[in-house]
């Protein structure tokens, strides 16, 4: 029978059996690099072959995973002298050439074209599967992994065994074709065929790289987070700014003076609920899910001009007449930019705006710190873990942050943090018209005493209010004092 006919026959048999369905791609992948040690990737070793192309492809996966903060896990086979020289391991009786893979030898060293960095994981094993007799399953679970991307050597041995056990351990699995190698083409092709049919999706390198890139900024919203919205005394409103759909929590009353509330860099609208609900006897709070956060869309741009345009869209889309703008942190910078454009407002309240900018000191919280918290949230965090970073916050606010931080876009955080140092608050601040109020924490590292003095000098018409003992997160650190100061500022604007 011709080869093409035999292939068609096999395909129809597997299709009739119900094999070959597509594997779901989760939002929290990990990259497992199987046994790309010199004993497998260099032909000079008894167990090796020239896997230059496969190592190059694996290096591209590792580089992309690192760029996207996807965990990288290397595996290696290594035997003690007693194991290598003895007769206790059945696999070494069947494959005695593997005895050369001794602990500390060149054969078990990672291929020099790859690099194990601090933060990468290493799993040492005695058998084909990286799961058998190791802590790999526990490690992947602790990392919050839902999808395992597998590459390495050899395709018909350790790669196949690892991929099969990954599926049996509950992980959706992708095997990257160009990043897997074997000593011979036949076993390589057969292993990939079988994996694709029964256990994993065998994907091209470009597809795997795109997947790692996309998942790094895949925002998530869990069922418990969605349920939080049902407990709010607010109505969801929607407006469009260009092509970006924006979500607004409207606390009413409908005839109240509108106050557009603009949260901080990693604060979806729901996290300002405890502030908004304390203002409804005075005003009509409308809390914006800033683009790239909460329920609002992602966007191409996250600069002050784009954020200010969103404020305009909310005003126009909801028909708000002479609103008050109230922003905290990033939101305060947005309020300043929007107010400086000349839109008729009743007034502004800026709470602890970042004063960093060109030629000034860096923003006190590093980008790595923000992204580390985001990774925790996407992995699955809880209020206790949040409390380690924010011990002064009320418990409910710690719980909300744990449930909602994963709804924030990594790109939005990265671009906004860069803007804290490339866009100067003092370009806008002197042009913010009166009446305007400037609230700041007495212990804030963002608005220091010198920063507050400069802000007062640059806009003499502003009224400044210090919140004693509060850090940058003034409403979370000192809720009673900060809310009292905000309410007093709003009374003066009515």
Non-local (6+) Cβ contacts of 97 within 8 A are: 46, 47
- CA angle 329–330–332, rounded 5-degree value: 65
- The H or E element that residue 439 is part of is strand 436-441
Tokens 């609208």: give the residue.
Answer: 269
The C-alpha torsion from 227 through 217 and 72 to 141, rounded to 10°, is 10
Alpha-carbon distances of 251 from 130, 155, 236, 274, rounded to whole Å: 53, 58, 9, 11
Q: How far apart, in Å, do the first and last CA atoms of the chain sit?
A: 88
Round to whole Å and give the CA distance between 432 and 456. Answer: 12
Do the beta carbons of residue 108 and residue 74 sit within 8 Å? no
Instruction: Considering the candidates 151, 158, 180, 408, report the single residue annotated as catalytic.
Output: 158
H/E stretch holding 389:
helix 383-389
What span, in angstroms and rounded, lies between the C-alpha atoms of 134 and 118?
20
Instruction: Choose among 224, 180, 172, 233: nearest CA to 204.
Output: 180
296 class by beta-carbon count within 10 Å (0-12 exposed, 13-18 middle, 19+ buried)? buried
As a whole number of angstroms, the distance between CA 179 and CA 33 comes to: 9
Residue 312 contacts residue 304 (beta carbons within 8 Å) = no
Tell whether the torsion through CA atoms of 11, 12, 17 and 20 is positive or negative. positive
User: 151 catalytic, yes or no?
Assistant: no
The Cα diameter of the chain in Å comes to 91
| Active site (catalytic) residues | 158
């Amino acid at each position: 029978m011709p080869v093409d006919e035999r292939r068609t026959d096999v395909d129809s048999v597997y299709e009739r059996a119900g094999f070959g369905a597509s594997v779901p791609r989760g939002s929290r992948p990990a990259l497992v690099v199987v046994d790309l040690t010199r004993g497998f990737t260099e032909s000079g070793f008894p167990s090796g072959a020239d896997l230059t192309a496969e190592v190059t492809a694996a290096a591209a996966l590792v580089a992309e995973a690192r760029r996207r903060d996807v965990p990288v896990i290397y595996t290696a086979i290594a035997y003690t002298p007693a194991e290598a020289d003895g007769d206790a391991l059945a696999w070494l009786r069947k494959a005695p050439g593997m005895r050369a893979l001794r602990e500390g030898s060149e054969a078990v060293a990672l291929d020099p074209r790859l690099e194990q960095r601090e933060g990468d994981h290493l799993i040492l094993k005695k058998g084909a599967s990286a799961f058998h007799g190791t802590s790999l399953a526990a490690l992947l679970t602790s990392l919050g992994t839902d999808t395992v991307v597998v590459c390495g050597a050899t395709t018909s041995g350790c790669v196949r065994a690892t991929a099969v056990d990954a599926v049996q351990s509950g992980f959706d699995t992708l095997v990257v074709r160009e990043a897997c190698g074997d000593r011979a083409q036949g076993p390589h092709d057969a292993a990939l065929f079988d994996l694709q049919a029964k256990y994993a999706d065998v994907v091209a390198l470009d597809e795997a790289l795109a997947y790692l890139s996309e998942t790094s900024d895949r925002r998530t919203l869990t069922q418990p987070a969605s349920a939080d919205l049902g407990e709010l005394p607010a109505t969801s409103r929607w407006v469009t700014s260009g092509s970006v759909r924006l979500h607004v929590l409207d606390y009413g009353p409908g005839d109240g003076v509108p106050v557009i509330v603009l949260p901080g860099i990693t604060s979806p609208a729901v996290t300002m609920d405890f502030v908004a609900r304390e203002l409804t006897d005075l005003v009509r709070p409308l809390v914006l899910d800033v683009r790239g956060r909460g329920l609002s869309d992602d966007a191409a741009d996250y600069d002050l001009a784009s954020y200010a345009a969103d404020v305009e869209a909310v005003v126009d889309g909801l028909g708000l007449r002479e609103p008050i703008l109230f922003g905290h942190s990033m939101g305060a910078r947005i309020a300043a930019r929007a107010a400086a454009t000349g839109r008729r407002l009743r007034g502004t309240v800026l709470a602890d705006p970042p004063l960093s900018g060109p030629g000034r000191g860096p923003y006190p919280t590093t980008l790595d710190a923000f992204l580390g918290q985001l990774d925790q949230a996407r992995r699955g965090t809880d209020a206790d873990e949040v409390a380690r970073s924010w011990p002064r916050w009320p418990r409910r606010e710690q719980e909300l942050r744990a449930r909602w931080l994963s709804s924030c876009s990594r790109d939005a955080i990265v671009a906004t943090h860069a803007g804290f140092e490339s866009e100067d608050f003092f370009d806008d601040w002197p042009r913010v018209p009166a009446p305007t109020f400037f609230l700041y924490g007495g212990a804030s590292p963002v608005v220091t005493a010198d920063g507050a003095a400069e802000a007062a000098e640059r806009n003499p018409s502003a009224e400044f209010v210090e919140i004693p003992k509060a850090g940058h997160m003034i409403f979370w650190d000192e809720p009673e004092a900060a809310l009292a100061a905000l309410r007093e500022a709003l009374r003066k604007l009515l």
